[in-house]
């Protein structure tokens, strides 16, 4: 056998070995990661029509099914039945977002009739060292933002007149969110010779 | 016409191959971004000045040595170096190693472009315009596409200079030009594309004034990286030139064609991004992000049929640009194995293909290995090789001025040799020092210094930090 054929044989073996090593140890060989964000739109939940009563009404939504995501924007679509805005004025809302370590954010305001209220929490993504997301989580690429997170929506409608028939005004709310989904992506180097 | 060691059958074939070597991914993506971020047409003037002072003398130096010696890089320096020829072979070795290390990762990048072309037919990037790249740039399947590109390159080079390299490049280079021009013309007629032209051609003296010495040295480096210098590629191709071809005329043609393609590519990329409202998007904040995230997003907005056609054409063109460069890179060590070791071309090509594939596997899996190969090529081999080659052509080799003045009415030999003796190698040496030792803040071995980056990439690639 000529030396060149031997060299080709050896390099062929090296190539096969490199392929096998690459396939088997791909994750170990892979390097540092960046974190990319992708926007997606999810509906978190809808409540039933609920009478407001004199003490207000409270709705609770759990965010358990959106792993690796932080919501950039929540939309609360309020529906009001049986109340006169003309005579009774606006209803008020309090939105509390609670994480595993306590209250993360609170929003208050008022709405009139059927109205969408949008709260923007996109600033959370700028400071991911917040509840559920520690440095250890970041390195192991698991973001626990939205586990053990609860959204509580309280609605108060003082001064409601009991309309004919004696039924209390009812409210429902549908919560949807524009999520910023974290994805671990390779940190692409900017090569000079290209 | 082709000699005993093979050669190009026509001047057109040589020009296409050499322009193919010079025109690569950098022309289509890096240069346009550099232009828009560094001062528009003000930067262009600086770039052209650097092209004349550094790029053209350097490319003419390499080509003249190749044509005079009619040999591979190692033999060229040995033959033309006189008594110290054996010592000067080291310059040829530096260039060859530069080509080899670039090959290790360039075939991976080429694989990205090829994959994206095929993904057009699977709706790959159409369905996920900004996220497909994240999942395919590194990984097990990237090894496959890297293998395909290596195999294609070996196939072309094994078939010889005229039968493989020339036959391939006379097809893919005109196809690339046609693709780029087609997208330029289409983009020109889209609403909102005007902002793209402004981004690249506005005369922004403020941005120019803010260029640091490090930025300028990077621009100089960009000139000779763009011309594929310091890797033995131009020298090798020129060694296959017909005796009666003019190095001066062909060298100038290649240099201007390389810059021309880069400029036209800028008119392709930025108006397209502007039309889609993506000029300042996060996807367009990096070179590869622009090519593989922002532009797919822009093509998406052009409509179902036109968007897919232009997208497929763009990635095919990107692949052609990368393939033609990869061919020239692998030809360097192949020519050394043929000329110096006496191997048959086919077996030499297979040997280099196997080596490229094996080392490239790690670049296909790890951004750190990819960066490491790039840093090694630039900081240890290429820049030094360009400086020494130019110096050698100016001071050591005999007949350079005469060769530059032959077979042409141009009489630039004297001026070029003067530049090769003085300004050009000095400027390249400055580039090496600024690039290797100076950081972004102007400090010694601070962040951004090439050798520091090389050490970091080494530690990161082997998980030592």
- Greater confidence (B132 vs B144) lies with B144
Cα–Cα distance, A17 to A23 (Å, whole number) = 10
Mean pLDDT over B321-336 rounds to 97
Query: Using 50, 70 and 90 to split pLDDT, how confident is the model at B1?
Result: very low
C-alpha pair distances (Å), B143 with each of B105, B110, B197, B424 = 11, 12, 38, 40
Identity of the highest mean pLDDT range in A75-84, A97-106, B261-270, B282-291: B261-270
Query: Using 50, 70 and 90 to split pLDDT, how confident is the model at B5?
Result: confident
Percentage of residues in chain B with pLDDT exceeding 70?
99
pLDDT tens for residues B179-212?
Answer: 999 999 999 999 999 999 998 888 887 877 887 8
Q: What is the pLDDT of residue B36?
A: 85
Query: Using 50, 70 and 90 to split pLDDT, how confident is the model at A122?
Result: low
State how far Cα B167 lies from the chain centre: 20
Report the residue of chain B nearest A5, measured CA to CA: B347
Q: What is the pLDDT of residue A53?
A: 75
- Greater confidence (A62 vs A130) lies with A62
Which pair of structure tokens corresponds to residue B332? 């360097």
C-alpha pair distances (Å), B334 with each of B92, B331, B340 = 13, 5, 10
Q: Which helix (H) or strand (E) holds A93?
A: strand A91-99
Q: What is the pLDDT of residue A80?
A: 87
**Whether pLDDT at B129 is above 60:** yes
**Whether pLDDT at B16 is above 90:** yes
**Whether pLDDT at A35 is above 70:** no
Query: Using 50, 70 and 90 to split pLDDT, how confident is the model at A71?
Result: low
- The answer to whether A104 touches A97, Cβ cutoff 8 Å, is yes
Q: What is the pLDDT of residue A150?
A: 85
pLDDT tens for residues A130-188?
Answer: 444 444 444 443 444 556 778 899 998 876 555 555 667 888 999 888 776 666 677 78
Residues of A with Cβ-Cβ distance to B354 under 8 angstroms: 8, 11-12, 14-15
Residues 6+ apart with CB under 8 A from B88: B77, B78, B80, B81, B392, B396
**Whether pLDDT at B457 is above 70:** yes
From the list A8, A32, A190, the residue facing B350 with the nearest CB is A8
**Is the CB of residue B288 less than 8 Å away from at least one CB of chain A?**
yes
Mutate to test the interface with B, among A2, A5, A192 (most CBs of B within 10 A): A192
- The answer to whether B450 touches B444, Cβ cutoff 8 Å, is no
Considering only CA atoms, which of B194, B232, B198 is closest in space to residue B92? B232
Q: At residue A27, what are phi and psi to the nearest 5 degrees?
A: -65, -35
Q: Which helix (H) or strand (E) holds B328?
A: helix B304-336
Q: What is the pLDDT of residue B4?
A: 58
- The answer to whether A106 touches A94, Cβ cutoff 8 Å, is yes
Q: What is the pLDDT of residue B369?
A: 92
Report the residue of chain B nearest A12, measured CA to CA: B354
Q: What is the pLDDT of residue A133?
A: 46
Q: At residue A82, what are phi and psi to the nearest 5 degrees?
A: 80, 30
- Greater confidence (B248 vs A119) lies with B248
Percentage of residues in chain A with pLDDT exceeding 70?
65
Question: Average model confidence (pLDDT) for chain B?
Answer: 92
Question: Which range among A54-68, A96-110, B33-47 shows the weakest confidence by mean pLDDT?
Answer: A54-68
A148–chain B nearest CA distance, Å: 28
A189/B370 touch (CB, cutoff 8 Å), yes or no: yes
**Is the CB of residue B224 less than 8 Å away from at least one CB of chain A?**
no
- The answer to whether B117 touches B312, Cβ cutoff 8 Å, is yes
B347/A38 touch (CB, cutoff 8 Å), yes or no: no
What is this structure's pTM?
A: 0.82
**Whether pLDDT at A86 is above 90:** no
Residues of B with Cβ-Cβ distance to A8 under 8 angstroms: 347, 350-351, 354
Considering only CA atoms, which of B109, B99, B321, B323 is closest in space to residue B229? B99
Which chain A residues touch B if contact means CB-CB below 8 Å? Answer: 4-5, 7-8, 11-12, 14-15, 18-19, 21-23, 26, 28-32, 36, 38, 183, 185-194
pLDDT tens for residues B361-415?
Answer: 999 999 989 999 999 999 999 999 999 999 999 999 999 999 999 999 999 999 9
Q: What is the pLDDT of residue B283?
A: 84
Query: How many residues can be counted in chain B?
Result: 465
Q: What is the pLDDT of residue A69?
A: 62
Q: Tell how many helices (H) and how many strands (E) occur in chain A.
A: 4, 9
**Whether pLDDT at B298 is above 60:** yes
Cα–Cα distance, B343 to B121 (Å, whole number) = 41
pLDDT tens for residues B247-275?
Answer: 999 999 999 999 999 999 999 999 999 99
Mean pLDDT over B337-348 rounds to 94
Q: Which helix (H) or strand (E) holds B435?
A: helix B423-437
**Whether pLDDT at A127 is above 60:** no
State how far Cα B188 lies from the chain centre: 27
Q: What is the pLDDT of residue A42?
A: 74
Q: What is the pLDDT of residue B2?
A: 47
Residues of A with Cβ-Cβ distance to B460 under 8 angstroms: 31-32
Query: Using 50, 70 and 90 to split pLDDT, how confident is the model at A21?
Result: very high
Which pair of structure tokens corresponds to residue B235? 């020298």
The interface residues of chain B toward chain A in range 5-64, judged by CB-CB distance below 8 A, are 24-26, 30
**Is the CB of residue B215 less than 8 Å away from at least one CB of chain A?**
no
Mean pLDDT over B226-230 rounds to 94
- The answer to whether B381 touches B98, Cβ cutoff 8 Å, is yes
B355/A7 touch (CB, cutoff 8 Å), yes or no: no
């Amino acid at each position: 056998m000529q030396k060149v054929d031997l060299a080709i044989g050896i390099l062929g073996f090296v190539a096969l070995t490199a392929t096998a090593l690459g396939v088997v140890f791909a994750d170990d060989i892979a390097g540092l990661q960046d974190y990319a964000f992708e926007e997606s739109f999810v509906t978190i939940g809808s409540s039933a029509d609920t009478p407001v009563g004199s003490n207000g009404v409270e709705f609770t939504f759990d965010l358990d099914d959106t792993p690796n995501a932080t919501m950039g924007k929540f939309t609360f679509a309020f529906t009001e039945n049986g109340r006169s805005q003309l005579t009774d004025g606006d209803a008020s809302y309090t939105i509390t977002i609670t994480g595993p370590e306590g209250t993360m954010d609170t929003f208050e305001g008022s709405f009139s009739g059927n109205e969408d209220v949008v709260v923007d929490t996109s600033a959370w993504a700028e400071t991911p060292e917040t509840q559920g997301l520690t440095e250890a989580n970041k390195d192991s690429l698991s973001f626990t933002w939205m586990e053990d997170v609860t959204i509580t929506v309280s609605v108060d409608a003082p001064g409601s007149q009991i309309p004919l028939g004696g039924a209390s005004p009812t409210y429902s709310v549908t919560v949807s969110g524009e999520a910023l989904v974290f994805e671990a992506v390779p940190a692409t180097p900017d090569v000079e010779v290209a | 016409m082709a000699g005993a060691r093979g050669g190009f059958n026509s001047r057109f074939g040589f020009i296409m191959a050499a322009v193919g070597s010079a025109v690569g991914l950098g022309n289509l993506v890096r240069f346009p971004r550099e232009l828009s971020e560094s001062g528009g047409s003000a930067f262009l003037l600086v770039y052209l000045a650097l092209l004349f002072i550094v790029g053209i003398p350097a490319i003419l130096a390499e080509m003249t040595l190749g044509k005079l010696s009619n040999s591979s890089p190692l033999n060229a320096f040995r033959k033309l170096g006189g008594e110290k020829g054996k010592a000067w072979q080291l310059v040829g070795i530096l260039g060859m190693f530069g080509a080899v290390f670039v090959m290790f990762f360039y075939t991976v990048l080429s694989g990205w472009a090829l994959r994206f072309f095929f993904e057009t037919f699977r709706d790959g990037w159409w369905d996920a315009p900004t996220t497909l790249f994240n999942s395919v740039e590194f990984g097990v399947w990237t090894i496959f596409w890297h293998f395909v590109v290596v195999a294609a390159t070996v196939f072309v080079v094994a078939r010889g200079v005229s039968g493989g390299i020339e036959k391939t490049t006379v097809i893919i280079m005109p196809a690339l030009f046609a693709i780029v021009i087609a997208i330029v013309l289409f983009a020109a007629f889209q609403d909102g594309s005007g902002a793209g032209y402004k981004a690249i051609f506005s005369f922004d003296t403020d941005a120019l004034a803010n260029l640091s010495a490090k930025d300028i040295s990077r621009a100089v480096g960009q000139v000779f990286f763009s011309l594929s210098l310091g890797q033995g590629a131009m020298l090798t191709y020129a060694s296959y030139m017909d005796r009666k071809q003019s190095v001066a005329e062909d060298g100038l043609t290649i240099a201007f064609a390389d810059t021309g393609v880069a400029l036209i590519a800028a008119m392709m990329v930025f108006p397209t991004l502007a039309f889609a409202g993506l000029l300042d998007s996060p996807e367009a904040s990096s070179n590869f992000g622009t090519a593989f995230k922002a532009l797919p997003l822009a093509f998406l907005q052009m409509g179902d049929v036109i968007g897919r056609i232009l997208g497929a054409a763009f990635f095919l063109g990107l692949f052609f640009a990368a393939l033609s460069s990869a061919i020239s890179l692998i030809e360097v060590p192949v020519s050394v194995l043929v000329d110096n070791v006496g191997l048959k071309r086919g077996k030499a090509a297979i040997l280099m293909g196997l080596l490229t594939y094996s080392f490239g596997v790690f670049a296909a899996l790890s951004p750190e290995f990819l960066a490491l190969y790039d840093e090694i090529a630039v900081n240890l081999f290429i820049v030094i090789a360009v400086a020494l080659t130019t110096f050698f052509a100016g001071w050591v080799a005999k007949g350079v001025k005469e060769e530059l003045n032959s077979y042409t009415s141009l009489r630039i030999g004297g001026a070029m040799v003067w530049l090769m003796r003085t300004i050009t190698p000095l400027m390249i040496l400055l580039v090496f020092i600024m690039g290797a030792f100076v950081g972004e803040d102007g400090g010694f071995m601070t962040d951004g210094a090439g050798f520091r980056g090389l050490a970091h990439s080494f530690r990161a690639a082997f998980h030592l930090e």
